[in-house]
Amino acid sequence: MNTSSPIRHRCLALVLAAAALLPGTSQAQLAVPDARILPIELAATPLKVTPDRADWTYVSGAQASFRITLDLSPYPAEGVSIRYKLGPEMLEGPEKSAPVPAGGLVLPVTAPTEPGFVRCSVTATLEGKPVTVLATMGFAPEQIKPTQTAPADFDSFWATQKAALAKVEPDYRLDPAPDLSSATVEAFYLSFQNVGGWPGPSRIYGVLCVPRREGSFPAVLSVPGAGVRPYTGNRGLAEKGVITLQIGIHGIPVNLPKEVYEGLHRGALDNYNRFNLDNRNAYYFRRVYLGCLRAADYLTTLPKWDKKDLVVMGGSQGGQLSIMTAALEPRVTALAALYPAYSDVSGYLHGRAGGWPGLFRPIAGGGVNDAPVEPKLLTSTYYDTLNFARRLRVPGIYFQGYNDVVCPPTSVFAVYNTITAPKQLVLGLEHGHAWSATQQAPMDAWVYQHLGIH
Residues 273 and 213 occupy one common structural domain? yes
Tens of pLDDT, residues 188-223: 999 999 998 555 679 999 999 999 999 999 999 999
> Higher pLDDT residue, 45 or 58?
58
Q: Is the pTM of this model over 0.85?
A: yes
Average pLDDT on 222-241 reads 96
Residues 97 and 194 occupy one common structural domain? no
Residue 220 lies in a domain: yes
Domain hosting residue 52, numbered range: 44-143
Residues 421 and 443 occupy one common structural domain? yes
* CATH number, position 113: 2.60.40.1930
Residue 276 lies in a domain: yes
Instruction: Assign 55 to helix, strand or coil.
Output: coil
Report whether pLDDT(10) > 70. Answer: no
Q: Which amino acid is at 218?
A: P
Report whether pLDDT(9) > 80. Answer: no
Q: What is the pLDDT of residue 34?
A: 77
> Higher pLDDT residue, 436 or 131?
131
Pairwise CA distance, residues 354 & 342, whole Å: 8
Pairwise CA distance, residues 331 & 327, whole Å: 10
Tens of pLDDT, residues 27-39: 335 667 678 888 7
Q: For 188, phi and psi rounded to 5 degrees? A: -140, 150
Residues 135 and 196 occupy one common structural domain? no
For the chain, the domain total comes to 2
Residues 139 and 161 occupy one common structural domain? no
* CATH number, position 200: 3.40.50.1820
Pairwise CA distance, residues 111 & 211, whole Å: 53
- The chain-wide mean pLDDT, for the chain, equals 91
* Residues 347, 411 contacting (CB under 8 angstroms): yes
Q: What is the pLDDT of residue 11?
A: 34
CA-derived radius of gyration, the chain: 23
Report whether pLDDT(128) > 80. Answer: yes
* Residues 130, 255 contacting (CB under 8 angstroms): no
First to last CA, the chain: 25
Tens of pLDDT, residues 84-99: 999 999 999 999 999 9
Q: How confident is the model at residue 365 (pLDDT cuts 50, 70, 90)?
A: confident
Pairwise CA distance, residues 361 & 142, whole Å: 24
Q: How far is CA 127 from the centre of its chain?
A: 35
> Higher pLDDT residue, 435 or 164?
164
Residues 163 and 277 occupy one common structural domain? yes
Q: Identify the H or E element spanning 291.
A: helix 284-299
Pairwise CA distance, residues 4 & 435, whole Å: 19
Instruction: Assign 347 to helix, strand or coil.
Output: helix
Give the residue among 399, 401, 360 at the shortest CA–CA distance from 148. Answer: 360
Residue 422 lies in a domain: yes
Residue 2 lies in a domain: no
Tens of pLDDT, residues 137-190: 999 999 999 999 999 999 999 999 999 999 999 999 999 999 999 999 999 999
Q: For 96, phi and psi rounded to 5 degrees? A: -125, 165
Residue 26 lies in a domain: no
Q: What is the pLDDT of residue 388?
A: 98
Pairwise CA distance, residues 180 & 2, whole Å: 29
Q: How confident is the model at residue 16 (pLDDT cuts 50, 70, 90)?
A: very low
Residues 68 and 188 occupy one common structural domain? no
Domain end among 143, 164, 186? 143
Instruction: Assign 173 to helix, strand or coil.
Output: strand
* Residues 86, 92 contacting (CB under 8 angstroms): yes
Domain end among 143, 174, 207? 143
Q: What is the pLDDT of residue 126?
A: 92
Average pLDDT on 371-394 reads 98
